[in-house]
Every structure is written in structure tokens, then in C-alpha cells.
Amino acid sequence: MTVKIICNQIKDKLKEKGITQDDFAKMMGVSSPTIKRWLKAEGLLFKDLTLMLEKLNVRLSEMAILSEASMINNFTYTKNQEEIFINTEGLLAFFDQLLKDKLPSQIAKNFQLTDKSLNFYLSKLDKMKLIEWLPNNKSKLLVNGEPSWILGGPLSQKFRKQIIENHIEHYINNRDQLKIAIYALSPESYKKINDKYQEILESLRILEIKDSQSIKSTKLTTIILGMGQNIIPILSTIPNK
């Protein structure tokens, strides 16, 4: 879930309430151009985002849930696209960065990619019909929302099991970060635990939104009834070609 998606939900709320962007700017005490930029997720600080939601009397957690619902089944990779991803090291990680609104030039800088490597990844994704490769190594996404892997498809078979096994192997001897146990619970107790689990998920959604607006570096965090910050090569490594 990205801040841009949250901003799209805010625009929907404005239309629902019959509030124009100019009127909303007055409510926020800023200029109309500033509101237009913010609603495009440009130059938007986390405090600005929370203030907009307060003015609309909407909780951040509610907006996060609405945003997540809007992303369901946005698009699914084709089998051919998945096969290319698993056979091309770094390509899935590169595309994941583009989906997070990173510019190709930013990706190249962050991962120290050569011009040849940058051209390689952009060319591959262009041929896969996932992006349009534009002049000056710019790109335009041809898909919207969050990607889904084919159930039992190439990506799922190769990587999902690998991620789980790597995580368990890394933390198997760390009782504070990986706990696997079996409990005999009543239906009532099970419901309480499930409610707590949903609260944790909601808290994570809110933290992810806040962290995406922070200048601090983030790490991919794996959660499997336990959690730990570890490297996931398929989404963290983009080698030079």
C-alpha cells in the first residue's frame, strides 16, 4: 500500500462529501496548488496526511483498510511473466522498486547499477508489457495497484517456500523472534487471539504508511507468527548485468 493510493482514497472522500479541492485547501489553511500537490502524494509529510484525514473525520486505520480493499486483484502476473522473473536475477526486485514509485535513476543510484544494467532491466520489463520504456531511461507503469502471484505458479513454487524456509532457518534458535507452539483454546479464546492478530495487522499497515514518508531507511520485515528483519534476496538484490 502506497501513500498515493491513500491520497486517491482521500479524493474519493472529498467527492463523496461534496467538497471541492479549493474548499478543502481553505479547510486546511493552505493554497489550492499545495492541496493539488498533496493529493498527488507530492511533497506530502505524514503530519499533513493525518491532518487531512482529521479534517474529513476519517481514521487512518479506516483509510488503510479501504485502500487495501481497493488493491485486491488489481493485477496478476501471467505465467510467462513469472517465468521470466524467476529466470532473471534482480528483475523482480527492480520492478518492485518501480511499483514503489521509485524512478529508474533512483534505483540505479541506490543499487549502483551501470547504464548497461539499467537498460537491461528496463528493456526486459518493456518486453514483458509491464512498463513502457521512455527516452532518457524513464518509464511508465502499464499496470495498476498491487501484483498477485499465480496460485501454485512459478513464483509461488520457487520463492514462497524459500522465503519461509530462510526465515525459519535464520531465527530458529532465537526464542524472542520466532515462536511456534500449539495451544488448546476454546472458541471464545480463539476469537480473542484472532482479534488481536487483526489489530497487529492494522498497526502494521499504519506503521508502513508512516515509514514510507520518513527519511529513515526501511528493511523488509518478514512475519510468520513471529517476525524478524532479514534480507530477502529476490526483493533486495539487483545485480549489475
Contact 93, 220 (CB under 8 A): no
User: Radius of gyration of the chain from Cα atoms?
Assistant: 21
Topology of domain 3-71, per CATH?
Answer: 434 Repressor (Amino-terminal Domain) (1.10.260)
| Residue 81 Cα distances to 74, 125, 150, 153, angstroms | 16, 9, 10, 11
Q: Where are the domains of the chain?
A: 3-71, 75-141, 154-231
Residues 93-105 pLDDT 10s: 999 999 888 999 9
Rounded to two decimals, the pTM is 0.54
Is 70 exceeded by the pLDDT of residue 52?
Answer: yes
Give the C-alpha separation, 4 to 213, whole Å. 11
- Give me the percent of the chain exceeding a pLDDT of 70: 77
- Over residues 234-239, the mean pLDDT reads 83
The three cell numbers of residue 92 are 523482480
3 state SS of 149: coil
User: Using 50, 70 and 90 to split pLDDT, how confident is the model at 176?
Assistant: low
Give the residue among 33, 8, 29, 11 at the shortest CA–CA distance from 20: 11
Among positive and negative, which fits the CA dihedral 235, 78, 74, 125?
Answer: positive
Round to the nearest angstrom and report the end-to-end CA distance of the chain.
30
Residues 6-41 pLDDT 10s: 788 888 889 888 999 999 999 999 999 999 999 988
> Long-range contacts of range 29-37, CB-CB < 8 Å, 24 or more positions apart?
none
